[in-house]
Structure 1
């Protein structure tokens, strides 16, 4: 029915998220542009008055610096949105590969190292049962734990699925480049005699849906310039409300979705499909960082290759089931980003072009600078609030009014951008979703310093991308031990202190402005009611409340068994009711948005009066 060189690819109707993106694309573009220019104008005027007004103090400069740190991070997001919506969108529509004729050969590479065997076997069974001719794909289990029990279990499964095989390079826990080395072992040692055209990477705890290959391969087959396609990761053990933002929904639907429009989507690890020859030409998976998936994306982009992302529900994994486990996972990611700087060393793969080395290293420095910015800002705000004097030069009433009006417009534009980005994604997010997990910034910096300066070889969860081998124990410890682990050991006690200090400092600043001599309105506007300060205080409170809420109301993580259904063939899949997007729909910024609008409105009334 089809020529030998043509695949039977069907394009499906767009989902609600794609329709929202089309509807709000121009809106996001114009609001991002307005937010950027508003930020530039606001800081130019603030700097001008800070330089020309005699009444300026050290507090003026500190406040301006803290505002600038947070504004810089917001500008990075706004510039990305502006670039992604500046030209006709390169949407990634839903597609399906039909027919069984002329299908490319694929290797499904399942990486593991010490995870519970029952979890690995669930992953393997689902991978073997993909809706794809068994003569056209193989499942290779890559065991860096060299488990004899796992070897025997896989041997039993091969009687049912002959396209399954077990491989190991020996016990490599915490050494030999971890997951990147495991994947390179498959690419360079196992495949040369009978190479496939495409490869799929699967973590040990990720269950692929049957249509995975038929939903992902069409995008790579239709675009010869596309080197890699990453799929959004969904999780079947998320607690109600996802209080720790473990789903990374904002990253997938906003940041990576916009990078996808530019052809630069970042590989999220499990569920990635790539052209084998392109990855070999790039030197395989980079071994200079734990975040090998992220680094591979950067290298491919630097080599002029396109990377894509699809939002479809095609895989389900597991998230850590404790605050300590969550922190450990995120620390590993950020240690990986800090290792990007090492790409400048001569010992790193020389196949990476010189200009790309600098780009990757500067990217890692930028991520580290973001952690430093959050840490400085969170600690500086309480000290600013309890110190005497205003935050802005208050020489003339007109100068104060100009700065307050511009500050209101600047903050309003920032909020409007958050709403437009959320609407463009078709997902409802809480305020400051772009700063999710920023309350962990100090803990990340501590982990990076400890690893880089005092650490040795990586162990435990530094091996694969899965969570099951993170060493967390949630069943055999007492409530007191769990609370101790999730506060003092995880560093969350610092966030509790910051939350209390910020709220207390805000109350003190209000009392000082009301009880002191002079105009109360003027004191409020130049201290606690200064619009950017209110904005930042809300950010600090909202973010640092997360571990407190976790401590007093720990989320309940559903068990694996309660979320899985097993077919007659013995393959387990997540239940149908958890497959959808729980928060799709129009954007709403919630109570904090209403509170901020009320406070800003009060500022406007004060200026007018």
Structure 2
């Protein structure tokens, strides 16, 4: 296959495949990210060490009961472990990633490709938009086929595909028979059915097999952009582009875009030969698929499992960091929860099946760095459990009204504030640099998403892996609303959305966001009460301010950040975003019916929510700086 390269059929358009996403001085700034991560980790460990010393010193010299201070320290310590693991892994950003942007040129003797469009009861118009765009590839029509794999067995879809095949003869409709009582393995089973059936078509199976989700519209150059990475290296089993979306609401209020994962996480994993298949838009070498026995079944994340088996067998995977496909995010809150909890469960399932990437025949040829990367991600998938336990202890500590931070001398108090300031500032600077590839506001949305989503993922993980069935455990473990949501809320349709009471009931009660509301209420109540007590108990300004800082307003006032994050589902219920009808987001050719997302819809628009969060972040940072400054002239 190196003949393609020698003949000049593959052209190198740029030294970097992500040249258009972020460029210029940003690339030079990003080089500092690993250094800043290391500095942030060191400062945070020094801060925790000093906190521990002060707690022990107080206990030793005064013998007072400092239970709240120890709980607060315990919270900070518990969340430190995943924090250190995550940042330690992120330091691999230092490892240079030099995947070029390539194009497969020409029109003769190009490799053959079978493109699967997997679907199961999605809207037929959505499926056909993906199928038409797949057929309209800038690629010789006799060198690729598009196969709709319909697991919903829709007669209407079959008829629509038959009509479209008059324009595109390489479009084929297939649907398998599902025998009651016999496992059909969902999407993995559907893909394996397709792999079997294409061997029976004229010419047999193609050299390469590609797959698209039902709603993922590929760009016309999708095949020509991904295939070169497979053709120039025989060891590459799969090339996969990022999943991007065209119906993301302004400000992305509930964190539905995958921008942080596809622009920061996956490129780092790619440098370690540990890039995962993101589930759609990928192209695999058919011989590699045969080598691992087809798409693995038995789990709910067949894409990640496939990637792991490739890497464990000695193949490599290529992450093509180009915008080559655009799909749709779930249009309602409940579906979003189900999707993300399913992904979390699937990641843990795969880690467990691979012995957490530590040993076993399945990872025999996996490199040390690839094992380390996958191990950390597998372990960090349990982070929501640890974080949720820590999270709900915050309002308890505030309501207790005991000091969060203790010390034996004023000098210790001053240095505690200074060390807290150092960690806050280092964190802010580190985030600014680390988030560069995805965008600063995207990184901040992702951080908040991890907070408010943690209780949902915690419940799903506990049900899936810890609770017995008689206590509510389930093999799937994915989040399910209590009761039935009845009819759709249509929350993003300004004209058809349900009323405020119905939305609040569905999200707060049936989707259990009432716990988020209670968290916010108890935190604010606790902080208000303890602040009032400081004014009543203390007699002078100095001690009133010291009391407030040590009991509720310890910089950077983390509970405010937690409350604003946990408020997200409640805010969504009160004022959901308005998203135009899907057709308004597309440019459609009236003659062929081919549709592609409008350019303006391919990026998440900046909105009021993002502005509010940044204002809050800025105010707490300024407050921390003022506390720091006061240690030199007041405290």
CA contact (8 A) 1:239 1:558 kept: no
| 1:127-146 aligned within 5 A | 127-146=134-153
CA–CA distance in structure 2, aligned partners of residues 594 and 233 of structure 1:
31
CA contact (8 A) 2:401 2:551 kept: no
Alignment partner for residue 473 of structure 1, among 485, 488, 503?
488
Is 1:498 the counterpart of 2:505? The answer is no
Partner of 2:90: 81
**CA separation of 1:71 and 1:359: change in aligned 2, threshold 3 A:** closer
Deviations 1:513-568 (CA, angstroms, capped at 9, x unpaired): 33323722332332223225x1x313312311211221221111221121223212
CA contact (8 A) 1:405 1:604 kept: yes
Alignment partner for residue 510 of structure 1, among 523, 526, 531?
531
CA contact (8 A) 1:229 1:273 kept: yes
Partner of 1:386: 399
CA–CA distance in structure 2, aligned partners of residues 141 and 51 of structure 1:
66
Alignment partner for residue 28 of structure 1, among 19, 29, 33?
33
CA contact (8 A) 1:198 1:274 kept: yes
Greater shift in the superposed pair: 208-217 or 35-44: 35-44
CA–CA distance in structure 2, aligned partners of residues 35 and 304 of structure 1:
36
Q: What secondary structure sits across from 1:229 in the alignment?
A: strand
| 1:106-121 aligned within 5 A | 106-121=113-128
CA–CA distance in structure 2, aligned partners of residues 62 and 461 of structure 1:
30
Partner of 2:572: 550
CA contact (8 A) 2:242 2:278 kept: yes
Partner of 1:177: 185
Partner of 1:465: none
CA contact (8 A) 1:199 1:274 kept: yes
Partner of 2:75: 66
Greater shift in the superposed pair: 437-446 or 315-324: 437-446
Deviation at 1:315, TM superposition (A): 1.3
Greater shift in the superposed pair: 594-603 or 273-282: 273-282
Deviation at 1:432, TM superposition (A): 5.9
Q: What secondary structure sits across from 2:579 in the alignment?
A: coil
Partner of 2:46: 41
CA–CA distance in structure 1, aligned partners of residues 578 and 37 of structure 2:
38
Partner of 2:109: 102
CA contact (8 A) 1:111 1:179 kept: yes
Partner of 1:467: none
CA contact (8 A) 2:218 2:326 kept: yes
Q: Which runs of 5+ in 1 are unaligned?
A: 463-469
**CA separation of 1:255 and 1:84: change in aligned 2, threshold 3 A:** same
Is 1:408 the counterpart of 2:429? The answer is no
| 1:253-402 aligned within 5 A | 253-340=263-350, 343=353, 352-353=362-363, 366-402=379-415
Is 1:606 the counterpart of 2:626? The answer is no
**CA separation of 1:496 and 1:460: change in aligned 2, threshold 3 A:** closer
Q: What secondary structure sits across from 2:111 in the alignment?
A: coil
Deviation at 1:110, TM superposition (A): 0.9
CA–CA distance in structure 1, aligned partners of residues 86 and 13 of structure 2:
30
Instruction: Output the TM-score relative to the length of structure 2.
Output: 0.84
**CA separation of 1:604 and 1:304: change in aligned 2, threshold 3 A:** farther
Deviations 1:477-510 (CA, angstroms, capped at 9, x unpaired): 7424343222211122221221222222222332
CA–CA distance in structure 1, aligned partners of residues 330 and 475 of structure 2:
22
Deviation at 1:361, TM superposition (A): 9.8
Deviations 1:394-450 (CA, angstroms, capped at 9, x unpaired): 122233333322222122212221111123545543636334243122222333444
Alignment partner for residue 154 of structure 2, among 144, 147, 154?
147
CA–CA distance in structure 2, aligned partners of residues 245 and 408 of structure 1:
29
**CA separation of 1:472 and 1:185: change in aligned 2, threshold 3 A:** farther
CA–CA distance in structure 2, aligned partners of residues 504 and 66 of structure 1:
20
Partner of 2:599: 576
Deviation at 1:341, TM superposition (A): 5.9
Q: Which runs of 5+ in 2 are unaligned?
A: 491-495
CA–CA distance in structure 2, aligned partners of residues 430 and 506 of structure 1:
28
Instruction: Output the TM-score relative to the length of structure 1.
Output: 0.87
Greater shift in the superposed pair: 406-415 or 107-116: 406-415
Deviation at 1:23, TM superposition (A): 1.7
Deviation at 1:220, TM superposition (A): 2.6
Partner of 2:493: none
**CA separation of 1:141 and 1:363: change in aligned 2, threshold 3 A:** farther
Alignment partner for residue 564 of structure 1, among 586, 589, 593?
586
Deviations 1:313-355 (CA, angstroms, capped at 9, x unpaired): 221211111212211222222232343365279xxxx962489
**CA separation of 1:146 and 1:510: change in aligned 2, threshold 3 A:** same
**CA separation of 1:138 and 1:366: change in aligned 2, threshold 3 A:** same
Alignment partner for residue 446 of structure 1, among 456, 459, 475?
459
Partner of 1:243: 253
Partner of 1:484: 505
Partner of 1:12: 13
Alignment partner for residue 231 of structure 1, among 221, 230, 241?
241
CA–CA distance in structure 2, aligned partners of residues 238 and 278 of structure 1:
35
Q: What secondary structure sits across from 2:283 in the alignment?
A: strand
Alignment partner for residue 525 of structure 1, among 523, 526, 549?
549
CA–CA distance in structure 1, aligned partners of residues 121 and 285 of structure 2:
28
Deviation at 1:213, TM superposition (A): 0.8
Deviations 1:584-609 (CA, angstroms, capped at 9, x unpaired): xxx99821332122111122133223
CA–CA distance in structure 2, aligned partners of residues 257 and 20 of structure 1:
19
CA contact (8 A) 2:243 2:280 kept: yes
Deviations 1:101-132 (CA, angstroms, capped at 9, x unpaired): 33221111111111122221111111111111
Deviations 1:213-255 (CA, angstroms, capped at 9, x unpaired): 1122222323333332222222222222221121122222222
Q: What secondary structure sits across from 1:352 in the alignment?
A: helix
Deviations 1:252-304 (CA, angstroms, capped at 9, x unpaired): 22222322333322322111222222233233333232122223333434445
Alignment partner for residue 195 of structure 1, among 205, 213, 221?
205
Q: What secondary structure sits across from 1:429 in the alignment?
A: helix
Q: Compare relative contact order (CA 8 Å, sep 6+) and give the higher one, 1 or 2.
A: 1
Greater shift in the superposed pair: 133-142 or 477-486: 477-486
